[in-house]
Chain A
């Protein structure tokens, strides 16, 4: 049971690729790294780095994971990381959705800072993930 209605917010996530095939092993490995007891959700920031050559499907694999596991998260933010302005833009959109932005104007580093503070303010999750 959810303690109170939780607003699931998804920011910047590209559409699911309906023609995605295979990669079951990689998806399971992501899941294990983010959720297994070893990297326990109760007390850890969990990481997973997908690496490989261009065109091999890293982005598609991450995208499929995010779509397939939407119900496990309350916030999902997809950040296009290749340039500084894209990174900032993604965070500003998130700031807006989190209601952290004072003004409508988008694109300031102050908003990035606010999002970072928000990330740091979240705590141990007591929600049972909906499987």
Chain B
């Protein structure tokens, strides 16, 4: 017997059967396993489950201020209300609050200005009345639309290309090279402005 205390984290599991090859067999009586998944029903029924819920308005505003590099003690109540409003716009999803924080910093805009821009972007969807339907599907897209709309065309083109490549590691040799295709020539070494 080895005196070991191990922890395995399986991040982003779609199907429990995918883990069959990796899990120690049933006789094992030792170790810790954490699984993250979007599927609340995954695996045998008797495994311990924790539902990770979106942030409430206040927690969402705290995350936003964290990403804006602001101390909670420095924030006036009006700003706080605006931040809570932003959190509600994306249903308290931390991923989007993180993006919004980065965007606001980069664009150097106020929370009010962000809300106005966001509402402009999502206006066509809110007009449909089916609020529940767009909230999850369209609000997140609006976050990215705002961010993408501020990029120069060549940067957007590059993002479109990156979307098809390995999310973890992309060799820059693939991108920066002597392309002959006119649509790729902005990536050529001598033209590289990115």
Contacts and interface: CB of A to CB of B under 8 A. Distances in A.
Please provide the 4 A-B residue pairs with the shortest distance between their CB atoms, ordered closest to farther.
Answer: A123-B1, A55-B95, A52-B52, A58-B36
B7 A77 contact: yes
B151 interface: no
B4 interface: yes
B67 to A, nearest CB: 6
A120 B10 contact: no
Contact of A87 (B18, B29, B50, B136): B18
B106 to A, nearest CB: 16
Interface in A59-101: 59-63, 65-66, 69, 72-82, 84, 87, 91
A93 B34 CA distance: 19
A124 B98 CA distance: 41
Given A116-B22, A120-B27, A49 B50 contact: yes
B42 A49 contact: yes
Contacts, number: 219
A80 B121 CA distance: 34
B95 A122 contact: no
Contact of A125 (B5, B23, B62): B5
Contact of B66 (A19, A29, A46, A109): A19
A62 B30 contact: no
**Residue among A44, A62, A84 facing the most chain B CB atoms (10 A cut-off):** A62
B39 A59 contact: no
B21 interface: yes
Contact of A122 (B11, B30, B51): B30
A77 B9 CA distance: 6
A82 B15 CA distance: 9
B32 A46 contact: yes
B52 A45 contact: no
A59 B29 contact: no
Interface stretch (B53-61, B107-115, B153-161, B174-182): B53-61
A121 interface: yes
B52 A21 contact: no
Interface string A21-43: 11100100110011000010101
Contacts of B24: 45, 116, 119-120
A73 B9 CA distance: 13
A115 B21 CA distance: 10
B93 interface: yes
Contact of B6 (A26, A52, A69, A73): A73
A51 B39 contact: yes
B30 A45 contact: yes
Contacts of A82: 11-14
Contacts of B23: 116
A114 to B, nearest CB: 12
B94 A6 contact: no
Interface in B24-56: 24-25, 27-40, 42-43, 47-55
Contact of A79 (B11, B50, B51, B95): B11
Given A79-B11, A120-B24, 8 more contacts: A47-B43, A50-B34, A51-B37, A79-B9, A116-B22, A120-B27, A122-B6, A124-B1
